[in-house]
Structure 1
Amino acid sequence: MTAARTIVITGASDGIGAAAARHLHAAGHTVVVVGRDPAKTARLADELGTTGHVADFARLDDVSRLAAELLAAHPRIDVLANNAGALHESYALTADGFERTVQVNHLAPYLLTRLLLGNVLAARGRVLWTSSAAVHTVRTLDPDAFGTPDPDARYRPLYAYAEAKAAGLLVMAELHRRFADRGLATAAFHPGLIASNFSADGDGIVGRFYRSRLKHLLAGPDAGARQLVHLAQDTTWEPGRYYERGRPARRTPPVLADAALARAVWARTEDLLASHVD
C-alpha cells in the first residue's frame, strides 16, 4: 500500500480536481483542497473531512496568502497538484497587470509552487501540472514578451491558453533539471477532453460548447482524474515528462525539447513575480 501523503490540489472545488481529491482521500491520503468558489470548496472539504482553502488565481495576493496558510498548516507537503486553470475567451488584464489567461494558468501556479517549494523539497515530494494537448500547437515562446502581451494585437483565446500551458510545461522541465537530484519529481499531463465546467461561463464558442448538451459526449471527471491520482501516489512513472493517456506522450511537445527556452521562461517568470517571492 502507498504510504499516506499530504496532497494539495488546486482547482479542487469541481471537475477533475474534486474527483481526484475524492479518490486520493479514499486511498488514505491527507488531501488539502483549494478552490475559487467558496461554497463548492467548503462543501467538498466538509464531505472529505479535510481542510479547504479559497483563492482566486487572478489575484496574486490571494496566491501569496494561500501559500502562507498552507505553510502554516502543513509543514510537510508531499504533493502539489497545480490543477487550477481556465480558458478566457476575451482579453482582460488582472489587477496585477498581466493578461488573465497567462496569470491564471501559469504565473499563479508558478508563484504557488515557488512559495511552497522548500516544504515540498524537504518531503522529497512531487509537483504536478494539469496541462493540455494544446501545447502541441506551440512551437516556441518569446520570453521577453511573455506575460505582457500587446493589448492591440488580436487576442486568440485558444492560443493564449496553449501558450500559458506550454510555459507551465517548460517550468516543469526546468524544476526537474534543477531539483531532481534533491528528490523532487515533476510531471505534467493532458487529462483528455472532460465534461466539466471548464470555461462554462465564457461567451465564445468554447463556453457555448461546455454549456451545451454536446458536453455530455465527453468523458467524465473521474476519467480525467485518473492520471492525477496515478502521478500523485504511484512511483512507477518517469519524472520530468509530459503524459497523455497514462504514459509519456508519443509525440514530445515541441517546446519541451528546448532546454534553453525552459531556462529563459523560468528566468522571465522569476522577473515578473520578483515582488511576490522576495
Structure 2
Amino acid sequence: MLEGKTVVITGASAGIGAEAARRMARLGATVAVVGRSPEKTAAVARQIGAEPLVADFARLSDVRRLADTLLGRFPRIDVLANNAGVVLTRRCRTEDGHDLMFQVNYLSSFLLTTLLLDRMTAIGPARVITTSSKGHRFGSVDLDDLEGAGTRSALLRYGTTKLQNILFTRELARRTRGSGLTATAFHPGVTAATDINREAPLVAALVRYRLLGGLSTLEESAEPLVHLATMPDREVFNGGYYHRLTPDGPVHRQARDDRLATRLWERTAELLGAPVP
C-alpha cells in the first residue's frame, strides 16, 4: 500500500509516532524516524530497519538542519506527518526566544513543512498530516499574542497550539490547491501510552485516571495517522480536521475562519523572520 513511498514522521521516538512508523514500514514505506531522544529514536529506527534522525523542535536550527538532511537523502517525500508535540504546565522560552510549547507544537512544524514544500509539490501527489487534538476547542488564536502571553492556563495555551495546527492545515490546503499536495489534521484520541505529557505529570495523571475522557489504546490512537496516509481518495477532505477516523469533526468556530488562517500564516512567517511561501 505504501511501497515506494517515503514517509517522514516527527515525534516518532515513542507513542503514536513510533507505532505509526512501525505500521507504515510494514506497509512497505521507507520511513524517516525523527525524534528528540537519540536513544529512543535509534531504538524505533532499528526495529524497522531505518536510520534515526535526531532533531529537537525546541531549536529552530535543528529543524532547518533536519530539512537539509531530508532533502539531501530523499529524492521524494510522499507523506510528512507533523506529530511532534508536548504539554507543559510551566512556561519556558526556547533559545530562539519563543514560548516552548508554541514552538514545539506549532512553529517548528510550520517551518519544517514550508522547507520541504517545494520537494513535496514537485513529485506529484503528496500529503501533510498534522496531529492536533480535540483540546483545540479550548484554545483561542489572537494574532497579536500568538504565543499566549496573556493566557494563564497551560491547558488553554496547549489548546491554542492545536487550533493553530488546524488553521495551518486549512491555509496550507488553500495555498497548494491544484499542486497534488493535500493537508489534513486530526485528533488521535486520548491515550496514556505517549510521551507528550512527559513534562506535565498532573496532566498525565488526569489522562491515566480517565478524567479527560475515555482512553484509546496506542494502536487506536495511531490508526487515524495511518488511515490518512493510506486512504485512496486524498482529496476527499483536503484542508479538514478528523476526529479520530471521522471527517469534519467538531471544531472551534475559529477553525473555519479562512481570513484568520491566512493572517496566521502571514504572522507566523513574520515570526520566522523570512518570507515563507
The aligned runs of 1:64-143 (5 Å cut-off) are 64-123=64-123, 124-138=125-139, 140-143=140-143
Deviates more, 1:119-128 or 1:101-110: 119-128
**Change over 3 Å in CA distance of 1:199–1:17 after alignment to 2:** closer
Contact 1:91–1:155 (Cα < 8 Å) also in 2? no
Aligned residue number for residue 29 of structure 2: 29
* Whole-angstrom distance in 1 between the partners of 2:68 and 2:133: 29
| Bigger mean CA offset, 268-277 vs 127-136 | 268-277
Deviation sequence 1:132-158 (CA, Å, 0-9, x none) = 0011223x42112213x43xx463111
Q: Confirm or deny: 8 A CA contact 2:167 2:255 kept in the other structure.
A: yes
Give the 3 Å change call, closer, same or farther, for CA 231–160 of structure 1 in structure 2: same
Q: 1:162 aligns with which of 159, 162, 168?
A: 159
**1:218 paired to 2:215:** yes
1:89-129 superposed Cα distances (whole Å, 9 cap, x missing partner) = 10111111111110000001001001111111112311010
SS at match of 1:13: coil
For the Cα contact (< 8 Å) 2:151–2:157, is it kept in 1? Answer: no
Task: Report if aligned partners of 1:106, 1:165 keep a CA contact under 8 Å in 2.
Answer: yes
Q: How far apart are the structure 2 equivalents of 1:240 and 1:203?
A: 31
- The residue matched to 2:80 in structure 1 has which SS? strand
1:193 aligns with 2:190: yes
1:232 and 2:220 equivalent? no
Shift of 1:276: 9.1
For residues 243 and 253 of structure 2, the distance between their equivalents in structure 1, rounded to whole angstroms, comes to 15
Quote how far apart the aligned CAs of 1:247 are. Answer: 2.0
The one-letter code matched in structure 2 to 1:167 is: Q
Q: Distance in 1 between matches of 2:52 and 2:275?
A: 23
Return the alpha-carbon distance in structure 1 between the equivalents of residues 173 and 200 of structure 2.
Answer: 38
C-alpha deviation, 1:180, in angstroms: 1.8
- Report the Cα offset of residue 209 of structure 1: 3.8
Name the structure 2 match of 1:177: 174
Give 1:219 deviation, angstroms. Answer: 2.1
Structure 1 segments unaligned to the other structure (5+ residues) = none
| Contact 2:184–2:239 under 8 Å retained in 1 | yes
Provide Cα deviations, 1:17-47, integer angstroms capped at 9, x if missing partner: 0110111000111111100110010111111
- How far is the alpha carbon of 1:241 from its aligned partner? 0.8
Q: Which residue of the partner structure matches residue 271 of structure 1?
A: 270
Extract unaligned runs of 5+ from structure 2: none
* Residues 35 and 242 of structure 1, relative CA distance in 2, 3 Å threshold: same
Give the structure 2 partner of residue 58 of structure 1: 58
Q: Deviations over 1:144-191 (max 9, x none)?
A: 2213x43xx463111111101111111110010110211111000000
- The normalised TM-score by structure 1 is 0.91
Residue 196 of structure 1 deviates from its aligned partner by: 1.9
Equivalenced residue count is 272
Cα shift readout 1:50-79 (whole Å, capped 9, x = no counterpart): 121001111111111111111100121001
Paired with 1:116 and 1:97, the residues of 2 have a C-alpha distance of: 24
Instruction: Tell me whether 231-240 or 122-131 shows the greater mean CA deviation.
Output: 231-240
> Would the aligned equivalents of 2:192 and 2:215 in 1 still touch at CA under 8 Å?
yes
Name the TM-score, length of structure 2 as normaliser.
0.92
Using CA pairs under 8 Å that are at least 6 residues apart, name the structure with larger relative contact order, 1 or 2: 1
| Aligned 8 A contact 2:192 2:204 in 1 | no
Shift of the 141–214 alpha-carbon distance from structure 1 to 2, 3 Å rule, reads closer
Q: CA-atom RMSD, angstroms?
A: 2.1
* CA spacing shift, 1:201–1:223, aligned 2, 3 Å: same
Shift of 1:8: 0.1
